[in-house]
Structures are given as structure tokens and as C-alpha cells.
Structure 1
Amino acid sequence: MTALQKLADNPIAHLSSEQIEEMGRELEAIRQSVLDTRGASDAAYIRKLIKTQRYLELGSRAALLGSLFPPLFVAGTVGLTVAKILENMEIGHNVMHGQWDWMRDPKIHSSTWEWDNATPSSAWKHSHNELHHNFTNVLGKDNDLGYSIMRVDEDQRWHPFFLAQPFWNVINALIFEYGIAAYDLELGKNLKVPKDERSAEFKAGAKATLQKIRKQMTKDYVVHPLIALPFGAALPTLAANVIANVSRNIWSHSIIMCGHFPEGVSVFEKASIEGETKAEWYLRQMLGSANISGGKFLHLMSGNLSHQIEHHIYPDLPSSRYAEVAPQVRAVFEKYDLPYVTGSFPRQLGSAWHKVIRLSLPNGWLASTTPKNAPKRVAQLYKMSTGGRKVRKAIQAELDQAAA
């Protein structure tokens, strides 16, 4: 059973077990074709990108030394923002996935890379690589799905707390790197445990995270402003670092929202992964992800997570090859009559935010509300927010009937 199988229009109902296994073999063949041709040009790509990113950051920080002059402030801030996005998205994220481990270069290896982010790479690799990618969109298993603070599926029982989830989502976007750090620590769960009963693992993780945050904040908000102080540019440099970090947070959050939250992306129940074969795992990745259409610059700045479907099917392949395999993967979708969820960045982001808002409200509330019955619906929402479970259940039944 999966949450998607409760839908009236089940996108996999027409597939037999044999067809799913055959589809898995076809996807594995695509993966093998990349492994067989991986080589010097791929290595040259990541090395050139890292070099470009570092020169861009260095040049931007140099420009900020003269940031009393508005053109240099703008150039330095924009350059620093782009450099930070590149380091996190196309470089750090993908290096830590092990996409470049085959090069045997200790400087570009998942075991040694430490990124420009609040959360330590070791914590991120556990929560992202081991948990999120294995349990993609499985309710109660994939904590990336709403980062434990949002309602992301109609089957989740509505509570008045969820009315605030659009607000929480905005806050999360602004401080995304710190939200990820808290999520990696499972902070919400661990803070409920009495201090003297918290595990040694959590305490060590919290200490490492605080050290990393201190290091990052010292670099951006103390060291570089102090370097700019003799040039009279300490405050503009501080402002530029704040703008660059917040912009990177919003961009990263938006790309991730587009990859897993738009309408049409499937959510699964825990029971769906019991006895799951590799082919069924492929199928879950296919239906639990969404792409963003666009040009080469968008793909680069998104860390090629604009090819989120291909990334989730092949998380260990070089990100620069996703554009190459995407048409082949889409052909597999079409062959087996599966929905390939894709769209422009504005469309996918709008769809994701619509879903966040829709699910912050009781099921059917938004769909059944019209200008004519709006006063009644608002009154019902107030009663559901202030009443007990019985009140919510009774009004929900009426909303379900109206929506149907």
C-alpha cells in the first residue's frame, strides 16, 4: 500500500510486477552506459568548476574591499552569492554524494569535502544520502518531506498548527542552512528528551554543529568585515555577506521545493517499502521527484537538481551527465505510461507553494470555498481551529462531501 494507491487515479495501477522489473532493467542499463563512458572530460568538468568558483569568490571578496562604491558593492554581492550557490549546489552537494569518488582525488572526495554551510558534511551525508535518498517521500521515514514541520499529504490528519505552515516555510527559506542543521540533528525530537538522558551521539553531533556554525559565522560576519575595515568597507562587506547567505538559502530552499513538493508528486506509506525490489525503488524515485525545465545556467545553478528525477534515480552519477540521460529516462516514463512531472521554475515553485497553502487548510476547504460561501467556510475554519477533535471531524465530513 502507498498513499498514491489511495488515489482514484493511481498512476501505477496498470503496471504488472514483471513490467516494473523490466523497467528497472532498462534504467539500470542507462546507468551502466554512463559508468562505461565516465572519464577525463567528466573529471575536467568538476575541476574547472571548482577552480572557477574559487576565483569568483576570491574576486568578489576583493571587490567588496571597495564596497563603499555602489558598483563594487553590487558586483561583489552578486558574485559572492553566485559563488556560494555554486559551492553548495553543483559542487558540495554532488561531491558529498560520491559522484566524483571514482577519480580517486582526495581533494574532491565525499569522505574529505567540507562545504560552506552551517551543517557539518558528515551529518548532512547521513540525513540526506542515507535517509532521504533511501526513503524518498515515505511518510514517517523521509524527514526531508516537510522537514517534520509541515503537512505534506492529505492522509496526514489536519491540526490547527498547520495553518501556520506557509509562515514557517518562509522562515525556513530565509534561514535554510540553519534549518537543515537542526533537521540533521533531529533537534525537535532530541530537545524533548531530558538533558541528562540525551544520547552521546546527539551531544557529539550538536557540539560539531555549533562549532561549524561558529566557524562559518566568524568567517563571514567577523573576519571579512575586519579585513575590509581599513578600507572603510566593514559594514557594506557585512551586509554583502548577509545578503549572499540569505539569497543562497532562499534559492536552495526553492530548488528543493520544486524537486519534491509540486502537485503531481507522489507520497508513500511506510508499508510501501516492505520487501521493495531495486526496480520498485526506481519506481518510487521516479514518482516522488519533479524536474525543472530551463537552460544550462539554471541547471548549473540548481546543482543539476533541475533534473531531480534523474538525480534520484542515479544519485551517484556525475551531475553534468543528467541532461544527457534525461531524454532516455523520459522515454522510459512514456513507454510505461508514467507521469513525468516537469515545468518551468516559476510554474514548479508556484505549484509547490500552492500545495503548501492547500495542505495548511483542512482537506477540501480551499476547493469547496467560493466567494458566495466564503463567510461560512471561514466560520467553519474558526470552529475547527478552536474546537476539539469531534468538531473537526464533523466539519471535515461536510467539507469532504462539498469537495466531492
Structure 2
Amino acid sequence: MTAIQKLADNPIAHLTPQDIQAIGEELDAIRQSVIDTRGERDSAYIRRVIKTQRYLEIGSRAVLLASVFPPAFVAGTVGLTISKILDNMEIGHNIMHGQWDWMRDPKIHSTTWEWDNATPSDQWKHSHNELHHTYTNVLGKDNDLGYSIMRVDEDQRWHPFFLAQPFWNALNALIFEYGIAAYDLELGKNLPIPKHKRSQEFKTAAAGVRRKIRGQVMKDYVIHPLLALPFGGALPTLAANAIANVGRNLWTHSVIMCGHFPEGVAVFEKASIEGETKAEWYLRQMLGSANITGGNAFHMMTGNLSFQIEHHVFPDLPSNRYKEVAPQVQAVFEKYGLPYVTGPFHKQLGSAWKKVVRLSLPNGFLASTTTKNAPKRVAQLYKMSTGGGKVRREIGAQIEAEAA
């Protein structure tokens, strides 16, 4: 079923088709229990979060009018950063997943919501809801997996280009909202095409992104600094908006990294999803995601994506219910002997970055490198980087053999 079947220790080898079907039925029952009990406390929760975020944004921008004074600058910047994180994570991401459509409130609905982000909501819903959640961690199908610029699995052929992936990943973290917009447009595929041959669909989507970015830039870097100009706070306000946007980007990127990239999270081959049943889809979501432990405030700041496993199994359930169902989902993992990947934020983020660095190098490179053979390894890496495919394959095979 999956690419992980190539590993010596296959975590699903012990499961029978009947086991997989039973997993699907148990998860269906958990999902239905939430649907049957959705109600006032859930709708009150999302309305309260939206109200809090709006007051926080308005208050922070009001404080930034006096941002010429350092305490006002710090307070306004921190408040605005938290406001933008809440808008993207707990509010925008989850509303656009349709988690609150059952309320039938046209103001809080996946078809009408727009967020504070460079990507228009309709494009994000297509690339994220329809593609990422359908093809979670499937190599060559899930564009979220490495955002098309990183090597994310040992089965991907190594190329010298991947040596730079720690740099690309760090840069992507800083400008994450624009990176998401770029990969939603599939710029890597569309830009090489001559302008007159590009599809109308791409041109329309690109125009939508340009309009959205223009609006975001005007709001954060023109209008609000101008409003602070009479109070002498134009430049500090501009800086505060830039810091808030970068802070939101770094946080969002880190949370997503923790949810899909730590060691222990599986990736899958295209062939593995041919004829996939709903129960097998559930199993892929379970194995392709990871959680982060933390308190209630932390969970809210992550958009409850700290329960990434539960989110991928039940993407349309209200986010405030993930904490409630997580023990039940974990019990299913334990019952069927499956790895429930979870840990504190620093551990998961460190594990994800370690994987990014490890996979930027040929398979087995780090595992087989010691202080004694380091000069030899550097020389081999240079040959692999400057030689052709045959050289890379030959030296790569030597390194893998030594690592084994």
C-alpha cells in the first residue's frame, strides 16, 4: 500500500484487510459522535474567537498609532502578530475547510470567508482541501509535501540541487504566505511556458493573486502607516506590520513542518492509492501526520493543527473538538499497533529540520560520516555534485553500503 513497505520495519505489515476495514469503521463512529453533538457551544466558540481576533487587531492597530514610543511599538507589534496568527490558523484555515458550514451562517462559511493572506481563499481551498487532503504525503501528487522544492523521502533520487534545501526551507518560512501563493499557482510548471501559450485558467488565477497581494500591501504598508503619520508613527507602524507578517509566516511554517515532516511520518507512492478505499485513506492520513503536545492557548494558536492527525482524519469537524477526540483516535492507533507520532513543539520542529538537512544529502551520508572519514566524504560529495548521473549513482551506492 505505501512507500514505507520498502522499509525493514513496516508498521502496517501486521494489518489484515479486515483490520484496515475495522479501523475505518471505528473512525467513522468517532466522527459521527461529534456530528451528532455539534451545537451551541461549538458555534459560541468560533464566534468568540473571531470577536477576540477582531478586537485584538483593532486594539493593536490603535496602539500602533503611537508606535513612535517603544512600549506602544512592542505592544502593538505583539498584538498584531497574534491577531494575524489567529486569523490564519484557528479562524481562516478552519472556516475554509467547511468546519463551521453546518451553522449556516453566511458570514462564517467556507464559500464566503476571505483571510489576511497573499493567497485568495478560492485558490487555497483547491490546492489545500482538494489536493493536499486528498493526496496527503503522496509523492508527486501532494504539492504541500516539500512545496516542490525539497527532497522529502529517501526514494526520491538525490540531485545536487537538494544541497540548498535547508536554505530554501528557511527562506520559504520567512515569506511563507507568498511561497504558498506561488505553489498554488504552480509557478514552477507555468513560468517556463511562453506567455501567449499559458492557459487562461493560470492567467485568471495569477491575476487574482496579484490583486490579493496588492490589497495586502496597501493595507499593511501604505494605509496604516499613513494613518499613523500625523502621530509620528508611520515608519514604526510599517515596521510593525512587516514584523507581524514575518512572525505569522514563521509560526505557520513551523506548525505545518511539525505536522508532516518529523521522523516517523510516512510518505506514499502514487501506485499505493490506486483503488484506495475510504478505510485505506483513513490509514494514510493516520500515518502521514504528526501531533504536537501543549496547552489550550498553544493549541488555539496552532489552529488546533497541533492535533494534525485528528485534523487529517476529520478535516471538516470543528477544530475545538479535536482535543476531545484525540484520546479516542490514539486508542485506535494503540489497538492496531500503529505509531502515533507526537511530541513537544521543540522536539517535533527539531526532528523536521533534521530530516530536511539529512535528505539534502545523499542517502546514508550523515549516518556513515565520522571525523576520520569526513575529508573523504566531502570529496565524494564534490564529485557527486559536479559529475553526472552515473557518478552520483556509483558513489551513492558506496555510501549507502557503508551506512548499512
TM over 0.5: yes
Write out aligned runs for 1:218-367 (5 A).
218-367=218-367
Write out aligned runs for 1:3-82 (5 A).
3-82=3-82
Distance in 2 between residues matched to 1:208 and 1:245, nearest whole Å: 20
- Please identify, of 149-158 and 385-394, the stretch whose mean Cα deviation from structure 2 is larger: 385-394
Moved over 2 A (4+): none
Write out aligned runs for 1:373-388 (5 A).
373-388=373-388
CA deviation after TM superposition for structure 1 residue 397, in Å:
1.1
Distance in 2 between residues matched to 1:81 and 1:104, nearest whole Å: 30
1:217 aligns with 2:233: no
What letter matches 2:76 in structure 1?
G
Write out aligned runs for 1:114-193 (5 A).
114-193=114-193
What letter matches 2:253 in structure 1?
H
Distance in 1 between residues matched to 2:8 and 2:319, nearest whole Å: 36
- Counterpart in 2 of 1:396? 396
CA deviation after TM superposition for structure 1 residue 53, in Å:
0.3
What letter matches 1:61 in structure 2?
R
What letter matches 1:162 in structure 2?
F
CA deviation after TM superposition for structure 1 residue 195, in Å:
1.0
What letter matches 2:107 in structure 1?
K
Give SS of 1:116's match.
coil
CA deviation after TM superposition for structure 1 residue 288, in Å:
0.1
Distance in 1 between residues matched to 2:344 and 2:84, nearest whole Å: 23
- Counterpart in 2 of 1:207? 207
- Counterpart in 2 of 1:105? 105
What letter matches 2:226 in structure 1?
L
What letter matches 1:9 in structure 2?
D
CA deviation after TM superposition for structure 1 residue 324, in Å:
0.1
- CA offsets 1:362-391 (integer angstroms, 9 cap, x no match): 000011001111111011001100111111
Give SS of 1:291's match.
coil
- CA offsets 1:12-61 (integer angstroms, 9 cap, x no match): 00000001001100000000000000000000000011000000000000
TM (norm. structure 1) is 1.00
Distance in 2 between residues matched to 1:54 and 1:283, nearest whole Å: 38
- Counterpart in 1 of 2:369? 369
Distance in 2 between residues matched to 1:78 and 1:221, nearest whole Å: 17
CA deviation after TM superposition for structure 1 residue 193, in Å:
1.3
Distance in 1 between residues matched to 2:161 and 2:283, nearest whole Å: 33
- Counterpart in 1 of 2:83? 83
CA deviation after TM superposition for structure 1 residue 310, in Å:
0.1
Distance in 2 between residues matched to 1:394 and 1:316, nearest whole Å: 48
Distance in 2 between residues matched to 1:70 and 1:270, nearest whole Å: 54
| Structural RMSD (CA) | 0.5
Distance in 2 between residues matched to 1:272 and 1:391, nearest whole Å: 31
Distance in 2 between residues matched to 1:327 and 1:106, nearest whole Å: 33
What letter matches 1:268 in structure 2?
F
What letter matches 1:93 in structure 2?
H
Give SS of 2:292's match.
strand
What letter matches 2:120 in structure 1?
P
- CA offsets 1:299-349 (integer angstroms, 9 cap, x no match): 000000000000000000000000000000000000000000000000000
What letter matches 2:229 in structure 1?
L
Q: Which runs of 5 or more residues in structure 2 are unaligned?
A: none
What letter matches 2:116 in structure 1?
D
Give SS of 1:290's match.
coil
Distance in 1 between residues matched to 2:397 and 2:151, nearest whole Å: 19
Give SS of 1:181's match.
helix
- Counterpart in 2 of 1:96? 96
CA deviation after TM superposition for structure 1 residue 2, in Å:
2.1
Distance in 2 between residues matched to 1:139 and 1:80, nearest whole Å: 37
What letter matches 2:345 in structure 1?
F
Give SS of 1:210's match.
helix
Distance in 2 between residues matched to 1:116 and 1:46, nearest whole Å: 17
Distance in 1 between residues matched to 2:147 and 2:68, nearest whole Å: 40
Distance in 2 between residues matched to 1:139 and 1:397, nearest whole Å: 22
Distance in 2 between residues matched to 1:400 and 1:2, nearest whole Å: 22
Give SS of 1:68's match.
coil
Identity %: 79
Q: Which runs of 5 or more residues in structure 1 are unaligned?
A: none
What letter matches 2:403 in structure 1?
A
